[in-house]
Every structure is written in C-alpha cells, then in structure tokens.
Amino acid sequence: KKSLPLDIELYQHSSSLPKGKDDKLFQKKPDIGIDLIDRTLTPWSTSWNSFN
C-alpha cells in the first residue's frame, strides 16, 4: 500500500542558524511533529463540522 505525506516541514539544526537555539526560526523536532499533526487535523475538523 502506498501513501503520501499530507504535509512536510524542514528541520533546521540549531548550528545552521545565526543565533543557534535562540533563533526564532529554530524548532525542536517534537514541536514540528505536533504542528504537522495539528495542521493535518484542523481542515478535517472544520469541514466535518460544516456537515452538521
């Protein structure tokens, strides 16, 4: 069975950013994962509620 990701996000290691872990663009991998899950579920919950 084949599957495709619903969304992707680039992980940037802190050493690749000018301010390291203090850079506003830095995100930990678990935080990126949670954001991806939230982005994936939000459209479904919105469209599902529109059928009521």
Residue 51 placed within a domain: no
Residue 45 placed within a domain: no
pTM score, whole prediction: 0.66
Mean pLDDT over all residues of the chain?
84
Residue 50 placed within a domain: no
Residue 47 placed within a domain: no
Of 2, 8, 50, the C-alpha closest to 33 is 8
DSSP assignment letter at 50: T
- Alpha helix ranges (H) inside the chain: 29-49
Residue 29 placed within a domain: yes
Number of independent structural domains in the chain:
1
- pLDDT greater than 80 at residue 51: no
Domain assignment of residue 18, given as a range: 6-40
Residue 46 placed within a domain: no
Residue 49 placed within a domain: no
Euclidean distance between CA atoms 2 and 44, whole angstroms: 21
pLDDT digits (tens, 9 = 90+) for 9-28: 999 999 999 999 999 999 99
